[in-house]
Amino acid sequence: MMSPSAGATMRACSSMNSRFGRWVVSLPPMLFLLLFFVAPSLIMVVASFRFPGEYGGLAPLVDQGQWQLTLETYRFFFSDFIYAEIFVKSFGVALATTLICILLAYPLAWLIARSPKRHQDVMVLLAVLPFASNFLIRVYAWMIILGPQAAVARAVNSLLGVFGFEPVTLLFSPFAVLVGMVYVHLPFMILPLYTNLAKHDPALLDAAQDLGANAWQRFWKVTWPLSLPGIYSGSVLVFIPVLGMFAIPDILGGTGDILIGNLIKEQFLGTRDWPFGATLSLMLTLVVLGLAGLAAWLARRGVRRHA
């Protein structure tokens, strides 16, 4: 039999151990984030207030004992309406992509969640299978699919011709950008939605039906509100990457289809105006953080209510 004080000591030791253990476990990811997220972010913040270098890059931070900082890039950003326009357009594309992803992913996720348990894993695997091939290859594949010589474009144009419309080009258009965006991000909507829908208690639908709800009412009054947390997390996973995406508009979009991502990339690699690139990317980060906070708040409220 242990004396009570010995027990207390051991408890104290084990609680110290577990606290120490928690530190040890969380240290590597914390260091990683500090080094590769917090530090670069701070560098970006500072960079947005600096002068551009003569041949690109950044001018020295301290010159002749003077701090070289300026608000010039911010003045520039707000002076021209075109940047706000590109922001709005990017948000439009991100919003449209998210909505289309919800529309496409919902029935699919529902189907997977309602399938027999032993089929579900295979179906989820199929949904994420595209990730097995390279992102750029998949996007380039769409260039071929949507190209003017491909069956899709010819079928669309011959159909338009029947009704007397002018032929259209599918590739290098906002439409192609949207198709690419939806295609690449769809699995990010399917997975959280499936996870959510699979958790629903089937007895709730029985109860709703028993209490007089038809199929439509069962969906809108029970399934839909309960799936909102899944929609929120899926939307975050789709909306935010789409907002910063530059590869897809580069490959599938026309010259006019510039989004924020392209604009930022252009500042760093094209015009080599690093401070302005940093400003743009900082603005994007702030907006995204704000939206993510809003989404997290919505989801948490949803989870609390739906727990």
Partner 1 sequence: MALLELRNLTRRFGDLAAVDNVSLSIESGEFVTLLGPSGCGKTTILRMIAGFDLPDAGEILLDGKNIADVPPEKRPLHTVFQSYALFPHMTVAENVAFPLRMARCDKPVIKTKVQEALESVHLWDRAHAYPHELSGGQKQRVALARSLVNRPRLLLLDEPLAALDAKLREEMQHELIDLQRDVGITFIFVTHAQDEALALSHRIAVMNQGRIEQFDEPSKIYGFPRNRFVADFIGNTSMMEVQVAEAAPTHLRLAVPGLGEIAAPPREGARAGRRGWFAVRPEQVRIGPAQDRELENHFCGKVRSFIYVGNVTTYTVELADGTPIEALLSNSAPGRARFFEVGDDVAVSWRHDAGVFLHE
Q: How far is the CB of 27 from partner 1 (least distance, A)?
A: 36
Q: Which stretch binds partner 1 (CB under 8 A): 56-64, 126-134, 190-198, 215-223?
A: 215-223
By CB under 8 A, is residue 212 in contact with partner 1? yes
CA torsion, ordered 8, 9, 11, 16, to nearest 10 deg? 140
Task: Dig out the tokens for 159 from the structure.
Answer: 């159909």
DSSP state letters, 244-261: H--HHHHHHS-TT---HH
Q: Long-range CB contacts (< 8 A, 24+ apart) of 133-137?
A: 135/184, 135/247, 136/247, 136/251
Residue closer to partner 1, measured from CB, 209 or 285? 209
Q: How far is the CB of 209 from partner 1 (least distance, A)?
A: 5
By CB under 8 A, is residue 245 in contact with partner 1? no
- The C-alpha atoms of residue 251 and residue 253 are separated, in whole angstroms, by 6
**Are 124 and 191 spatial neighbours (Cβ–Cβ below 8 Å)?**
yes
List the one residue from 11, 114, 119, 305 that touches partner 1 (CB under 8 A): 305
Residue 117 identity (one-letter amino acid): K
**Are 252 and 171 spatial neighbours (Cβ–Cβ below 8 Å)?**
yes
Q: How far is the CB of 288 from partner 1 (least distance, A)?
A: 28
Q: Which stretch binds partner 1 (CB under 8 A): 107-115, 163-171, 213-221, 256-264?
A: 213-221
Residues 6 or more apart whose CB falls under 8 angstroms from that of 249 comprise: 177, 257, 258, 259, 261, 262
Residue closer to partner 1, measured from CB, 37 or 297? 297
Footprint (CB under 8 A) of partner 1, residues 192-211: 201, 203-204, 206-211
By CB under 8 A, is residue 114 in contact with partner 1? no
Number of residues in contact with partner 1, rule: CB under 8 A? 20
Footprint (CB under 8 A) of partner 1, residues 163-182: none
By CB under 8 A, is residue 298 in contact with partner 1? no
Q: How far is the CB of 110 from partner 1 (least distance, A)?
A: 17
DSSP state letters, 26-77: HHHHHHHHIIIIIHHHHHHHHHTTSPBPBTBSB--SEETTEE---SHHHHHH
By CB under 8 A, is residue 126 in contact with partner 1? no
By CB under 8 A, is residue 231 in contact with partner 1? no
Residue 165 identity (one-letter amino acid): F
List the one residue from 7, 161, 225, 293 that touches partner 1 (CB under 8 A): 225
CA 241 to chain centre: 3
Residues at the site binding partner 1, with contacts judged by CB under 8 A: 201, 203-204, 206-214, 217, 221-222, 225-226, 305-307
